[in-house]
Amino acid sequence: MSKRKKRRIKNPLRFAVGVALIVLIVLLLAFLIAAVSGCFRSAPAPSSEATAAPTAASTPVQTPSLMPSPSPTPEPSWEERRLIEIEHYVRAYGNCPDEAAVEARMATMAIDPDSKMVAFTFDDGPRDRITDYVLDVCEQYGVRATFFINGENIDAHEEQLMRMLSLGCEIGNHTWEHTNVEELSAEEMRREIGSVNEAVFNRFGYTIHLFRPPYIKYGGKGSETRNTLIALMNEWDMAVVNHTRSTHDTYDSYTAEKIYRRGVAETDESNKPLSGAIVLCHDKAKKTAEAFGKIVPELLSRGYQLVTVSELLHYSDDGFHAGWIYSSAN
């Protein structure tokens, strides 16, 4: 056999450089592998403890904000809501030519809770001419009244109703057809009263809070009629309004002069005072309107404020309560 010849390195220097580069690359790769392995060992996989919500001790304390949190807006008082509502109707229906006229109208709505008050009420309207004259008196002297209307009169007397609202007067409910509620079933009573509330709200956006039963009949205490009526009043945030004194303006024998004298008497036959009284009238006879035209300036001269029933009750010691039956504010 022939001997294998040894291969000679033709360029020893190039060979040495190549070996050095290979060694350098191997060392560099080893360093990179070690570094990457160290990073993974320092960040272990998350455990159930690591993903739990931070404890109070581990949560950083935040510096309180220098800006105070806004306080909740307080609910407007009844007095504020009353003025907002009146101003709405003054602007909507008051025929005020400018802002000065609106402000002048609103100035007449001020009430002094420490001064004498009386509430005049008018049933069975609105009526042409008679109701208009009563409203003329209210506007002339800057006073208010409460009108317990029948629903069947709404369609033909929208202008009078809008004027009532623009003068700060109050609209009350007197059933749709002047019906004796003692003769109604529960469903009929709901319809007779509720239909008036609905019609007034749909036409004018106005919510009625007072009900005067026709003939001042609403069942004896504990009767089914009264219990049904009171339940409806509570449901609708309403109160039943009787009266302190009547002007007897429906009596044939009562002239405008007699109605006037009853309207301004400081006490009635039961010795009940005029201050805090709810006075019953009807806006369907000329003599009543004429008497009211004399009553108003006389009472104003004595320091009385002529207000609505709701105003009278809200400023009374007991206040207004749904489901109550009121004869006066005293």
- Residue 130 CA to residue 169 CA, distance in Å, equals 16
Let me know if residue 315 belongs to a domain.
yes
**Of the candidates 300, 291, 299, the residue with the CA atom closest to the CA atom of residue 257:** 291
Let me know if residue 103 belongs to a domain.
no
Let me know if residue 106 belongs to a domain.
no
- Residue 248 CA to residue 301 CA, distance in Å, equals 24
Which structural domain, as residue segments, surrounds residue 123?
114-326
Q: Provide the 3-class DSSP secondary structure of residue 131.
A: helix
Let me know if residue 104 belongs to a domain.
no
pLDDT in tens, the chain (330 residues): 444 444 444 555 565 556 566 766 766 666 666 555 554 444 444 444 444 444 444 445 555 555 666 777 788 899 999 999 999 999 999 999 999 999 999 999 999 999 999 999 999 999 999 999 999 999 999 999 999 999 999 999 999 999 999 999 999 999 999 999 999 999 999 999 999 999 999 999 999 999 999 999 999 999 999 999 999 999 999 999 999 999 999 999 999 999 999 999 999 999 999 999 999 999 999 999 999 999 999 999 999 999 999 999 999 999 999 999 999 997
- Residue 111 CA to residue 313 CA, distance in Å, equals 13
Ramachandran sector of residue 219 (left: φ over 0; alpha: ψ -120 to 50; beta: rest):
left
CATH number at residue 151: 3.20.20.370
Let me know if residue 92 belongs to a domain.
no
Let me know if residue 202 belongs to a domain.
yes
- Residue 318 CA to residue 211 CA, distance in Å, equals 18
The residues with which 214 forms a beta bridge, in sequence order, are none
The pLDDT value given to residue 72:
75
- Residue 169 CA to residue 131 CA, distance in Å, equals 12
**Of the candidates 194, 196, 204, the residue with the CA atom closest to the CA atom of residue 161:** 204
**Of the candidates 145, 168, 164, 305, the residue with the CA atom closest to the CA atom of residue 241:** 145
- Residue 100 CA to residue 96 CA, distance in Å, equals 8
The pLDDT value given to residue 3:
41
Domain count, the chain: 1
Q: What is the pTM of this model?
A: 0.79
Let me know if residue 235 belongs to a domain.
yes
Supply the DSSP string of 132-195, one letter for each residue.
HHHHHHHHHHT---EEEE-GGGTGGGHHHHHHHHHTT-EEEE--SS---GGGS-HHHHHHHHHH
Let me know if residue 244 belongs to a domain.
yes
